[in-house]
Chains A and B, each alone.
Chain A
Amino acid sequence: GQNIDQPTEMTATEGAIVQINCTYQTSGFNGLFWYQQHAGEAPTFLSYNVLDGLEEKGRFSSFLSRSKGYSYLLLKELQMKDSASYLCAVPFEGNNRKLIWGLGTSLAVNP
């Protein structure tokens, strides 16, 4: 079967670094997506990893280890506006058009 696990909530301080983990079990792995969703708004795309390693994009980086079924999203120099839910998603049986989503990690950034 397919399963995705993320911590439910995290808290961090403005200016700090936070790492949000995601573990998954899937058949036919074909990449992992991270999306950001502010309360009451639509999810927005952050990153897509298909190969092992770290991909950096400004203040946000995403890491993938396919052998461990593990990914993390690293947020640096946290800002108040980073308070949001972070969703991890994997394609269902390798189909990138049909995503299975984690429940999301709600991140609260405090001053």
Chain B
Amino acid sequence: NAGVMQNPRHLVRRRGQEARLRCSPMKGHSHVYWYRQLPEEGLKFMVYLQKENIIDESGMPKERFSAEFPKEGPSILRIQQVVRGDSAAYFCASSLPSEAGGLSDTIEQFFGPGTRLTVL
């Protein structure tokens, strides 16, 4: 079973361009999570999604950032009109559905290798 896959691993964009980051979850995983990591700030939750639905996007900036997890294909984190402050490592993780359907189960998140975005 292949792990969580992210591409590209490295992405360079100029200010004002768009960045598209892709994440393919592990087989059988229903949930995808996106995190941003800066060297001095640690991992920051951005959004988590279930197929075709955004469950919680409270950690994602309201402007320029969007995420989707379509019925077919990978999850996409899209950053429009990038600025230098968007330079960071973006990690995707995935997890199994909760058997009990609740929020309190142990839900191990499996992380992808990350995409390192550099904005020039």
Main secondary structure of the interface of A (DSSP, over half): strand
| Complex interface residues of chain B between 88 and 120 (CB less than 8 A to chain A) | 91, 95, 103-114
Asked if B69 is at the interface (CB within 8 A of a chain A CB), the reply is no
A96 to B58, CA, bound (A): 15
Q: How many residues of A contact B (CB 8 A)?
A: 24
| Contacting pair A100 B45 (CB below 8 A) | yes
Whether B106 and A97, one on each chain, are in contact in the complex, defined by CB atoms closer than 8 angstroms, is no
A37 to B92, CA, bound (A): 14
Shortest distance from the beta carbon of B56 to any chain A beta carbon, whole Å: 6
B7, chain A: closest CB distance, angstroms: 14
| A92 close to chain B: CB less than 8 A | yes
Query: Which of B45, B56, B111 is in CB contact (< 8 Å) with A43?
Result: B111
Q: Are B111 and A97 in contact, with the CB atoms below 8 A?
A: no
Shortest CB–CB separation between residue B69 and chain A, in angstroms?
A: 14
B22 proximal to A (CB < 8 A): no
Q: How far is the CA of A92 from the CA of B59 in the complex (A)?
A: 12
Q: Is the CB of B55 within 8 A of A97?
A: yes
Q: A42-B113, A45-B108, A45-B110 are in contact. Are A97 and B33 (CB under 8 A)?
A: yes
Query: B42 touches which one: A41, A45, A87 (CB < 8 A)?
Result: A87
Query: For residue B33, which residues in chain A have a CB less than 8 angstroms away from its CB?
Result: 97
Interface residues of A in 69-111 (CB under 8 A from B): 87, 89, 91-92, 94-104
Extra contacts, 20 of them, besides A42-B112, A42-B114, A100-B45 (Cβ < 8 A), are A31-B106, A41-B113, A42-B113, A43-B43, A44-B111, A45-B109, A87-B43, A89-B43, A92-B45, A95-B103, A96-B103, A96-B104, A97-B33, A97-B48, A97-B103, A98-B45, A98-B58, A99-B43, A101-B42, A101-B44
Interface assignment of A10: CB less than 8 Å from any CB of chain B = no
Within the complex, the shortest CB–CB distance from B92 to chain A, in Å, comes to 9
Determine which of B44, B55, B91 lies in contact with A42 in the assembled complex, contact meaning CB atoms within 8 Å: B91
Chain B residues within 8 Å of A100, by CB: 45
B111 touches A42 (CB 8 A): yes
Alpha-carbon distance between A84 and B66 when the two chains are bound, in angstroms: 32
